């Protein structure tokens, strides 16, 4: 396949960026999208141009490190992570625009790499169960009904990639946060801190500069793990209960 | 010990032998009482003193993340580092299958002793009994801890935890969270860690890479890191340093490891005096998706459980290799594992399944695309299973794996057999540690895949996760206090000559990498090194091949320092520079792996030595000569990859609780 790529280049956080055009040829449909970028980077390196910076690590769709806006869609046209997207999803001759996640809370570091530290800080605000090592009772002491366990697991599948934020017109992180709140609220272990958690996480979310949720649903559409929008309802329900006291 | 011939490595002047090494920390007495005794003997640190003690932890995987959280809870002053943008992305996240624990919830005869026994046997009698016993002992606590954190393990309808049997053992002791066990365990540790960050006991440094360890007056006292965003070289000092930096499978270029997995942290420590143990012990996993072309950047593992129902075969005749598999008649198929190992069939251990796949492909009977001169793949066929169990049953068991396969290859495994091929997956080798998990540098502790301690020459499925969390939650926090009780050590300043020396060496090396401006990319060196390692230091090794590999690696390393091209500058995010530093270290490690493999003239665990086989071609271990851990001391060298002869220190392995046996799967 031959492709034209328009790629966001930005030297650093305080620089202005622009879309640059590159051509790649002989791309195999079996390549992953990131392998296609590897090929481009090898070409740039050979020509003496600095390769394009982009994030990835596991390349298996689980670590959440990768994430690109591909022709306007977070993680591209398939419901998967950027690293699990393959070139067979594109047409020969296609023009593909590649940009970083765009959100005030995710500043660009360089080219396609952004800073998602805000997600860590939201978890620090309460996305955990306070149990010190060694203080745990036997694992069978508290049975968990299977439906609750399954829903908790579904929500816990979030990989923290940030596609939900990138896809949202308000750059809201409610899907990410709803997933964590739901994971812990479904489980008996999450109950003692349930109310305090949601309030403090939401405060942090707003402080980081993420926008509010207006039920657009683009987050869930873009989410590579299929986290459903109803986790946001769970969050809102917990938040209302907490604020009522 | 009888040394009949002079070891080839010595004969070729590749290494020399030094004094033996031994663990001095495990208490005497019956194995079942040692850990309790050690915890009692290890000095305590007064809670009021803990916040005066600084501990650096490199790595936020299961090992580093759990250790940082636990030491933070205990009140120490912790700094934790990772190269990803968040601790939650450490490579542990990719583990699929599960985690073992001797809970005996199924009442199927499991016990601490049985888990201990299975792990030692699985390691082909090349691990240290005391460490493995302790691992089995603390395994049950791990599950309790994780459940309390909210890790959503699979449950039965009654609400209790479900277990499965994994990796060929006869009891069901594996806890799992669908195919995402590593992810769920890591998120649990990550959340515990973030809680400590919020509490102010742990300071976290993401996108920071450790490039050197600071050793002052014989003790590990800090690390030199590069802030990957600003490029700044920083010095961090402490009373003790813990490495939980994971495995180095990426020395093979293609592996199931994450792109960034590297040896730099441990290799730099090795260069500073920490012994590297059994570096050649590598685990090769039989069920990975084969290479599809030259562009391939990494390999993807599919759960071993597929072998429970899939049948492995290749065509009997080479002429059939490029045919549609569905058109190959039953009598023209060679179900080679079922043929060679009638009692275990497709469920033979990982190393046997891997080696036989390589053998049939070497014979020219592999399938799939040509990669170089060979087709590198064998069929894993579910047609029988679909007929026997129905498509729905197969889908409910393996649906997510089939989807993953279809996504990556573009083929539908319900209709045409999957293709699989072995890939490097895990390294049992790593820095040598004693029972306290302390390396040969006082104050430098090593946990998780980065150390060598628990898996011998081969690792059982679902036990790396167990080890990472055992080390981080339960072992290290109890042993490191014995060392920290001697502190706080003299306060150091950034101007101390040995601190300055460490920082300067990093600055110079970084500068050098950027100045070469040669012709070849970092990846091209890495790929070439990987090919050499896979060919000569992979599943099957021989003296001739290893000697050749050592020569090739030396040539490649020399060229690297002359001809690598790293563009951009050192004072911004520069991913080529990061890779270059890692590949430079792989180029040194690769040579030591080959020397270690050369000296170990026996087939053992995950690796097969051509000169050491039975009459019918099976692995032959030599307990008379090789019942020891090979702990290598760095022999000296310069910053540009010049290396002197390493020194071999042997730790004799003593089996008191378990009787030595040769494996047999025929
Ligand atoms: C695909 C796959 C599936 C697996 N499945 C299973 C399974 O089902 N069951 C099982 O028991 N095991 C499994 N394993 C093995 C297991 O996942 C690993 O051995 C284990 O998770 C390693 O954990 P760790 O904490 O030691 O290291 P890692 O999780 O690799 O963490 C390493 C950490 O060190 C940091 N780091 C490394 N180098 C540096 C540096 N120079 N500077 C700063 N930071 C650094 C990284 O950022 C990271 O935070 C699997 C492995 C793979 C590859
Ligand atoms: S909710 Fe989905 S899109 Fe958002 S961070 Fe989690 S996995 Fe990514
Ligand atoms: S690189 Fe890990 S999810 Fe894509």
Per-residue model confidence as pLDDT tens digits over A39-94: 999 999 999 999 999 999 999 999 999 999 999 999 999 999 999 999 999 999 99
Proximal ligand: closest to the CA of B187: 1
- Does the pLDDT value for residue B4 go beyond 60? no
For residue B97, the model assigns a pLDDT of 84
Mean pLDDT on B633-651: 93
Judged against a pLDDT cut of 90, whether residue B168 lies above it is answered with no
Distances (CA, A) of A81 to A105, A225, B97, B282, B519: 21, 8, 21, 30, 34
Same domain, A135 and A164: yes
What's the pTM value of the predicted model, to 2 decimals? 0.97
pLDDT tens digits for range A183-226: 999 999 999 999 999 999 999 999 999 999 999 999 999 999 99
The residue extents of the domains of chain B are 33-284+426-484, 285-423, 495-637
The reply to whether B285-423 shares the fold of B33-284+426-484 is no
Q: What is the residue whose two structure tokens read 């091949």?
A: B545
Distance CA B504, CA B494 (A): 12
Q: Does the beta-carbon distance from A149 to B152 stay under 8 Å?
A: yes
Q: Is the pLDDT of residue B71 over 60?
A: yes
Are the beta carbons of B152 and A128 separated by less than 8 Å? no
- Mapped onto helix, strand or coil, the DSSP state of residue B259 is coil
| pLDDT tens-digit map of B263-300 | 999 999 999 999 999 999 999 999 999 998 888 999 99
- Is the bond into B352 cis (omega within 30 degrees of 0)? no
Cβ–Cβ under 8 Å, residues A60 and A83: yes
HSE-CB for B244 with a 13 A CA cutoff: 34
Alpha-carbon separation of residue B605 from B166, B229, B283, B355, B591 (angstroms):
18, 42, 9, 12, 21
Domain identity same for A136 and A192: yes
Confidence at B5, pLDDT banded by 50, 70, 90? low
| Share of residues in chain B with pLDDT > 70 (%) | 99
Radius of gyration in angstroms for the set of CA atoms belonging to chain B, rounded to a whole number: 24
Band of the pLDDT at B323, cuts 50, 70, 90? very high
d(CA B353, CA B425): 14
Q: What is the average pLDDT score of chain B? A: 95
Please provide the CATH number assigned to the domain covering B495-637.
1.20.58.100
Percent of chain A's residues with pLDDT above 90: 99
- Do A122 and A96 lie in one domain? The reply is no
Q: How far is CA A161 from CA A56, B6, B64, B89, B167, in A?
A: 11, 55, 22, 10, 32
pLDDT (tens digit per residue) in B430-461: 999 999 999 999 999 999 999 998 999 999 88
Atom of ligand 1 minimally distant from the CA of B301: 1
**Which residue of A lies nearest to B520 if distances are taken between CA atoms?**
A46
Which pair of tokens denotes residue A241? 């209960």
Tell me how far the alpha carbon of residue B310 lies from the centroid of ligand 3, in angstroms: 28
Structural domain of residue A45, as residue ranges? 3-109
Q: Which of A14, A133, A160, A225 to mutate to test the interface with B (most CBs of B within 10 A)?
A: A133
Say yes or no: CB of residue B176 within 6 Å of ligand 1: no
Kindly state whether residues A73 and A150 are assigned to the same domain: no
Helix/strand/coil for B212? strand
Domain count, chain A: 2
Which one of the listed residues B271, B350, B600, B621 is annotated catalytic? B350
Beta-carbon count within 10 A of B548 CB: 15
Same domain, A201 and A220: yes
- Among B56, B251, B464, which is best to mutate for testing ligand 1, by the most ligand atoms less than 8 A from CB? B464
Residue B197: is its pLDDT beyond 70? yes
Q: Is A45 on the interface with B (CB under 8 A)?
A: yes
E strands of B417-546, at which residues? 418-427, 430-431, 444-446, 520-521, 540-541
Contact status, residue A120 vs residue A89, Cβ threshold 8 Å: no
CATH number of this structure's domain B285-423, picked from the four choices 3.90.700.10, 2.40.50.140, 3.40.50.12640, 3.30.2320.80: 3.90.700.10
Instruction: Report yes or no: B505 and B212 within 8 Å, Cβ to Cβ.
Output: yes
CA torsion B241→B242→B247→B251, rounded to 10°? 0
Chain B residues whose beta carbon lies within 8 Å of the beta carbon of residue A110: 572-573
Examine the predicted complex and report whether its ipTM is higher than 0.85: yes
Q: How far apart are CA B266 and CA B287, in angstroms?
A: 28
> Residue range A7-12: average pLDDT?
97
* Joined tokens for residue B638: 């310069």
Task: Provide the pLDDT confidence category of residue B3 given band limits of 50, 70 and 90.
Answer: very low
State the burial class of residue B616 (Cβ atoms within 10 Å of its Cβ: 0-12, 13-18, 19+).
Answer: exposed
Lowest mean pLDDT, pick from A206-220, B83-97, B291-305, B377-391:
B291-305
Token output for B235: 């010095």
The answer on A218 and A169 residing in a single domain is yes
Extract the tokens encoding B629.
Answer: 């851990």
Phi and psi angles of residue B215, each rounded to the nearest 5 degrees, phi first:
-115, 120
- Beta strand extents in B217-320 (DSSP E only): 219-227, 233-237, 240-243, 276-277, 282-288, 311-315
What is the radius of gyration, based on Cα positions, of chain A?
20
Task: Note whether A63 contacts B145, CB cutoff 8 Å.
Answer: no
Task: Read off the CATH number of the domain in which A41 is found.
Answer: 3.10.20.30
Number of CB pairs < 8 Å for A and B?
Answer: 213
Structure confidence by residue, pLDDT tens digits, B7-55: 888 888 999 999 999 999 999 999 999 999 999 999 999 999 999 999 9
Q: With CB atoms and an 8 Å threshold, state whether B89 touches A65.
A: yes
Q: What are the pLDDT digits (tens) for A115-164? A: 999 999 999 999 999 999 998 999 999 999 999 999 999 999 999 999 99
Contacts of B409 (CB under 8 A, 6+ apart): A30, B289, B292, B419
Tell me, yes or no, if B567 comes closer than 8 A to chain A by beta carbon: yes
Cα angle value B519/B524/B527 (rounded, 5°): 160
Of A45, A75, A109, at which residue does a domain stop? Answer: A109
Asked if B91 lies within 8 A of A45 by C-beta distance, the reply is no
Taking an 8 Å cut-off on Cβ atoms, the answer to whether B161 and A140 are in contact is yes
Tell me, what's the pLDDT at B2? 40
DSSP secondary structure string for all residues of A26-81: S--TTSBHHHHHHHHHHHHHHHTPPPPP---SSSSS-S-----EETTEET-SSSS-
Whole-number Å distance, alpha carbon A98 to ligand 2 midpoint, is 19
Mean pLDDT of B529-545: 96
The CATH number assigned to the domain holding A234 equals: 1.10.1060.10
Q: Residue B331: exposed, middle, or buried by beta-carbon count in 10 A (0-12, 13-18, 19+)?
A: exposed
Strand ranges (E), chain A: 3-9, 18-24, 69-70, 73-74, 95-99, 108-110, 113-114
Does residue B346 contact residue B326 with C-beta atoms inside 8 Å?
no
CA distance B381 to B312: 6
Instruction: List the structure tokens of A76.
Output: 């591209």
Superfamily name with CATH number, domain B33-284+426-484: FAD/NAD(P)-binding domain (3.50.50.60)
Show which of residues 114-153 on chain A sit within 8 Å of chain B, judged by CB atoms.
Answer: 115-117, 119-120, 123-125, 127-140, 142-146, 149, 152-153
- Tell me the chain A residues in contact with residue B177 when contact means C-beta distances shorter than 8 Å: 153, 156
Q: Which of B73, B89, B152 sits opposite A156 (nearest CB)?
A: B152
In B517-639, which residue ranges form alpha helices assigned H by DSSP?
Answer: 522-536, 543-563, 575-599, 623-626
Residues A55 and A131 in one domain: no
pLDDT level of residue B170 (50, 70, 90 thresholds): confident
Q: Is the beta carbon of A175 within 6 A of some atom in ligand 2?
A: yes
Nearest-angstrom CA–CA distance, B249 and B429: 10
């Amino acid at each position: 396949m031959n492709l034209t790529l328009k790629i966001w280049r930005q030297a650093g956080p305080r620089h202005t960026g622009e879309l640059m055009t590159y051509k790649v040829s002989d791309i195999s449909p079996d390549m992953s999208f990131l392998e296609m970028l590897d090929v481009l980077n090898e070409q740039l390196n050979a020509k003496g141009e600095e390769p394009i910076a982009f994030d990835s690590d596991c390349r298996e769709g689980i670590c959440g490190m990768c994430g690109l806006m591909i022709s306007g869609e977070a993680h591209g046209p398939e419901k998967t992570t950027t690293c699990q997207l393959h070139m067979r999803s594109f047409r020969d001759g296609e023009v593909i625009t590649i940009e970083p996640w765009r959100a005030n809370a995710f500043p660009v570091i360089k080219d396609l790499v952004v800073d998602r530290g805000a997600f860590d800080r939201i978890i620090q605000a309460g996305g955990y169960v306070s149990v010190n090592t060694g203080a745990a009772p036997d694992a069978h002491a508290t049975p968990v009904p299977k439906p609750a366990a399954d829903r908790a697991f579904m929500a816990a599948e979030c990989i923290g990639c940030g596609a939900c934020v990138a896809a949202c017109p308000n750059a809201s992180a409610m899907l990410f946060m709803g997933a964590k709140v739901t994971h812990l609220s479904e489980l008996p272990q999450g109950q003692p801190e349930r109310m305090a958690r949601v309030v403090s996480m939401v405060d942090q979310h707003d402080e980081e500069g993420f926008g509010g949720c207006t039920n657009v649903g683009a987050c869930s559409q873009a989410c590579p793990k299929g986290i459903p929008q109803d986790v946001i309802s769970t969050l809102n329900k917990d938040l209302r209960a907490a604020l009522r006291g | 010990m009888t040394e009949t011939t002079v070891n080839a490595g010595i004969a070729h002047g590749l290494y020399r032998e030094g004094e033996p090494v031994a663990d001095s920390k495990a208490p005497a007495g019956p194995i079942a009482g040692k850990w309790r005794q050690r915890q009692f003997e290890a000095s305590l640190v007064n809670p009021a003193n803990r916040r005066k003690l600084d501990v650096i932890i490199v790595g936020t995987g299961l090992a580093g993340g759990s250790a940082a959280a636990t030491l933070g809870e205990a009140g120490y002053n912790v700094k934790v580092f990772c190269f990803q943008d968040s601790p939650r992305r450490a490579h542990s996240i990719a583990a699929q299958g599960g985690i073992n624990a001797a809970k005996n919830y199924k009442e199927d005869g499991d016990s601490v002793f049985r888990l201990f026994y299975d792990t030692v046997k699985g390691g082909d009698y090349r691990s240290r009994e005391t460490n493995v016993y302790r691992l089995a002992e603390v395994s049950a606590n791990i599950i309790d801890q994780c459940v309390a954190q909210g890790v959503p393990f699979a449950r039965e309808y009654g609400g209790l935890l479900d277990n499965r049997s994994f990796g060929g053992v006869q009891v069901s002791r594996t806890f799992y969270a669908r195919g995402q066990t590593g992810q769920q365990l890591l998120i649990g540790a990550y959340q515990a860690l973030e809680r400590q960050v919020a509490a102010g006991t742990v300071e976290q440094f993401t996108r920071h890479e450790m490039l050197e360890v600071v050793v002052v007056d014989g003790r590990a006292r800090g690390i030199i890191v590069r802030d990957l965003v600003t490029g700044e070289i920083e010095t961090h000092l402490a009373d003790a340093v813990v490495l939980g930096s994971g495995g180095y499978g990426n020395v093979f270029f293609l592996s199931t490891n994450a792109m960034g997995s590297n040896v730099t942290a441990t290799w730099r420590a090795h260069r500073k005096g920490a012994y590297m143990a059994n570096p050649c012990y590598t685990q090769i996993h039989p069920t990975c998706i084969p290479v599809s072309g030259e562009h391939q950047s990494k390999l993807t593992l599919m759960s071993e459980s597929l072998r429970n129902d899939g049948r492995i075969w290749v065509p009997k005749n080479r002429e059939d290799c490029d045919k549609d598999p569905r058109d190959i008649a039953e009598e023209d198929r060679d179900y080679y594992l079922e043929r060679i190992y009638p009692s275990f069939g497709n469920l033979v251990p990982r190393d046997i399944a891997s080696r036989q796949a390589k053998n049939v492909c070497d014979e020219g009977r592999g399938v799939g695309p040509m990669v170089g001169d060979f087709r590198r793949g064998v069929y894993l066929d579910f047609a029988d299973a679909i007929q026997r169990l129905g498509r729905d049953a197969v889908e409910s068991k393996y649906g997510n794996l089939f989807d993953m396969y279809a996504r990556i290859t573009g083929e539908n495994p319900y209709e045409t057999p999957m293709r699989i091929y072995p890939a490097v997956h895990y390294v049992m080798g790593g820095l040598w540690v004693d029972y306290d998990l302390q390396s040969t540098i006082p104050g430098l502790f090593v946990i998780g895949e980065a150390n060598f301690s628990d898996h011998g020459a081969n690792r059982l499925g679902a036990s790396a996760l167990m080890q990472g969390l055992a080390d981080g939650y339960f072992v290290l926090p109890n042993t490191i206090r014995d060392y920290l009780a001697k502190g706080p050590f003299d306060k150091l300043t950034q101007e101390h000559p040995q601190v300055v020396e460490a920082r300067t060496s990093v600055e110079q090396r970084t500068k050098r990498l950027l100045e070469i401006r040669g012709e070849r990319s970092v990846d091209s060196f890495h790929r070439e090194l990987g090919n050499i390692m896979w060919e000569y230091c992979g599943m099957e090794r021989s003296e001739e091949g290893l000697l050749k590999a050592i020569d090739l690696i030396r040539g490649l390393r020399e060229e690297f320092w002359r001809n690598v091209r790293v563009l951009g500058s050192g004072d911004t995010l520069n991913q080529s520079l990061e890779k270059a530093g890692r590949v430079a270290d792989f180029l040194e490690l690769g040579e030591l792996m080959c020397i270690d493999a050369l000296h170990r003239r026996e087939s053992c665990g995950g690796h097969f030595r051509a000169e050491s086989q039975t009459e019918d071609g099976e692995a032959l271990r030599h307990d008379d000569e090789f019942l020891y851990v090979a702990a290598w001391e760095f022999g000296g060298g310069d910053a540009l990859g010049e290396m002197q002869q390493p020194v071999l220190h042997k730790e004799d392995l003593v089996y008191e609780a378990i009787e030595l046996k040769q494996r047999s799967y025929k």
